[in-house]
Structure 1
């Protein structure tokens, strides 16, 4: 029988470009050069005799033929990858490959991870790079701890996602600064610190505790949670931040909550896994452990 189907290398290259709309990012995902991806897609177009991509300076788009091919092959290729991963992983069932939001990994997960290693010394953990635009189709990750970027967001159908922690936000500051705060209004008139992606967290918190933000309020924004927390510790102002990120700071007395009360953002961090992939012993052990840690931490 004459084989008419293209190679998996070519299909992987095409699907990578289709997902990202970009040859460079597809190459990063596949761990090859951009030129290799371009050549593979060109071979695929020649093999099928159709143009699959419209290439322009503004980016890459699927042609109607490309969109049709993606619909037909994306599921089967993902199934082949999952099957290969399961077979390959049989002798390595005690290896766990994790991708974790860096801020939560550094501030919340890492200080607790020694407990998991103590309970499960037989399981080797490998951390893989976290992608903020993750589509959860990577074959090199078993579990993700991913951020739900906005309230009401729906996860892809192929993903089983379970909330862990991170919806609750609180206002924190250095102990010395807290001495002059005698209520919500006094707090809201101090320099306000915030995550630059979530400036509206201050409005959520103020509304939850019965306060009123000053009209046209200004503050200092930080694009990294660690920098936001460090600024609060240094006495630069009051920060509104997820409670899970500052639990160690609060317990040690390096930060305090000068006004009681919290608010829910409706976002938070979720444990994610592909629905179609059977969980290994390592996956199940870590899932059980991290959910326990989240419950203990108030998730």
Structure 2
């Protein structure tokens, strides 16, 4: 079948000239001569059988047919260029694609990403949709952040990041009346749906005798759990790394400062048999340094 599409160079010349309204500026943007732009658009018009531009003074303005054609091919041209740049970055080792739980991504990683961008301006990070049970084998993903505990399978290289530190939280105005772990037993206990035993483990570690009251309510998301605490529904025990913004903003407080760690946490994982690119190694070194800095701050708190 004979292809009816114009060449990519003609489409890029057309799209740039349409965006900038000038053959000269389009030539500068594409780093070619003005003559090359003129010839490309002339070939395009000959191919299409209609004019895509008309001259208005020194500007090149789209015709009605040219506007319709740009609306049709412009997004596709942009997609091709973006995909090509992404693949080149990946081949050059400057692209890292990650999969990680949305809660850790939004509460812990995003506030730190400007530091990574400043240190590694040539590296592009992209994030795949998180699926809890996906195997750590996909060739389209470079690394995964998973909730788990050691040991991981021998096929997985796993580095602990954060998430083992559990702390109780309450409203700041309630913190003054909570002096001992036992004081929390008299408050409504709020829990995470997936980890209802966190309170029992925390009380046991603090030396509180059981039996412990059942949670008054449970929530599937940490954000919802924190909102319930702020609203005055009760107290909760959560991973310290997920409430940094809430602590800094004074929305919640930690009434009892006693260290307690569980074995479960967030780990940076990658296939043990797959060599890491330079960009992935840079990201790994950076994110582990961020995690170590947090662990040092928690130890001092």
Aligning the two structures, in what range does the TM-score lie when normalised by the shorter sequence? 0.5 to 0.7
Q: SS of the counterpart of 1:227?
A: helix
Aligned counterpart in structure 2 of residue 203 of structure 1, from 200, 203, 218: 200
Structure 1 residue 213, shift from structure 2 partner: 4.9
CA distance in 1, matches of 2:109, 2:90: 27
Structure 1 residue 280, shift from structure 2 partner: 0.7
Aligned counterpart in structure 1 of residue 246 of structure 2, from 239, 245, 249: 249
Structure 1 residue 88, shift from structure 2 partner: 8.1
Structure 1 residue 182, shift from structure 2 partner: 3.1
**Counterpart in the other structure of 1:39:** none
Q: SS of the counterpart of 2:177?
A: coil
Q: How does 1:114-129 map to 2 (within 5 A)?
A: 114-129=114-129
CA distance in 2, matches of 1:215, 1:208: 13
CA distance in 1, matches of 2:193, 2:141: 29
1:238 aligns with 2:235: yes
2:90 touches 2:96 (CA, 8 Å); kept in 1? no
Q: How does 1:26-45 map to 2 (within 5 A)?
A: none
CA distance in 2, matches of 1:248, 1:216: 29
Structure 1 residue 233, shift from structure 2 partner: 2.2
1:97 touches 1:140 (CA, 8 Å); kept in 2? yes
CA distance in 2, matches of 1:289, 1:233: 33
Structure 1 unpaired stretches of 5+: 1-86
CA distance in 1, matches of 2:248, 2:276: 35
Q: SS of the counterpart of 1:272?
A: strand
Q: CA RMSD in A?
A: 1.9
**Counterpart in the other structure of 1:258:** 255
Count of residues in Structure 1 that have an aligned counterpart in Structure 2: 210
CA distance in 2, matches of 1:156, 1:215: 35
Structure 1 residue 259, shift from structure 2 partner: 1.5
CA distance in 2, matches of 1:241, 1:131: 22
TM-score, scaled to structure 1: 0.66
Aligned counterpart in structure 2 of residue 228 of structure 1, from 216, 225, 231: 225
Structure 1 residue 225, shift from structure 2 partner: 1.2
**Counterpart in the other structure of 1:95:** 95
1:205 touches 1:262 (CA, 8 Å); kept in 2? no
Structure 1 residue 180, shift from structure 2 partner: 2.6
Which has more radius of gyration? 2
Q: How does 1:1-299 map to 2 (within 5 A)?
A: 91-148=91-148, 151=149, 154-213=151-210, 215-298=212-295
- CA deviation profile, 1:139-182 (whole Å, cap 9, x unmatched): 1100111111xx55x42332101111111101011101223323
1:194 touches 1:220 (CA, 8 Å); kept in 2? yes
Query: Using a 3 Å threshold, how does the CA distance of structure 1 residues 209 and 216 change in structure 2: closer, same or farther?
Result: closer
Structure 1 residue 282, shift from structure 2 partner: 0.7
Q: SS of the counterpart of 2:174?
A: helix
